[in-house]
Amino acid sequence: MRALLIALLLFATPVFAVQPDEILDDPVLEARAREITAELRCVVCRNESVDDSNAEIARDIRLMVRERLLAGDTNPEAIQYMVDRFGEFILLNPRATGANLVLWLSGPVLLLTGLGVAVVTLRRRRHPAAQPLSEAEEARLSQLLDE
């Protein structure tokens, strides 16, 4: 029984990240707020969404998102407001534009380059370049074979 209680508490902690006083009265706006905050990274907790984080800054970000929605912002406008304020780092899934495009493309490019180098190396090992023997080498080979 104790193990079940501990497991429930461990798995249920992200559910309690959003405090009751943060929840909006309008269920549609609250659903939008939860959708947005699930896409935002907590600036204190690495790779944890603002929606799941118990950090004080995450609470402030959740409140800012809800304020933006109450002010009439659309989801992209609210997200852009947060990006303008905190930078691209706040996005859990960064956009593939500008400088981020280099990061998005460098992995596949390096993988393809490595595969190309491996293929060329393996082909060269299989078919070494045959060079004819010099006269001195042929003479030495004949001498060794005659013995």
Domain of residue 61, CATH code: 1.10.8.640
- Asked whether the predicted pLDDT for residue 79 surpasses 70, the reply is yes
User: pTM (2 decimals)?
Assistant: 0.59
86 lies in the same domain as 114: no
Place of tokens 């947060």: 82
Whether 146 is in a domain gets the answer no
Angstrom CA distances, 56 to 17, 25, 117, 128, stand at 10, 22, 50, 65
Q: What is the pLDDT of residues 14-26, one digit of tens each?
A: 445 666 666 777 7
- The pLDDT value recorded for residue 14 is 46
Whether 139 is in a domain gets the answer no
What average pLDDT does the structure give for the chain? 82
82: tokens are 């947060």
Whether 144 is in a domain gets the answer no
The pLDDT-based confidence of 13 (bands split at 50, 70, 90) is very low
116 lies in the same domain as 71: no
Residue 121: domain span: 99-128
Place of tokens 């959708």: 35
Distance CA 74, CA 105 (A): 30
83 lies in the same domain as 65: yes
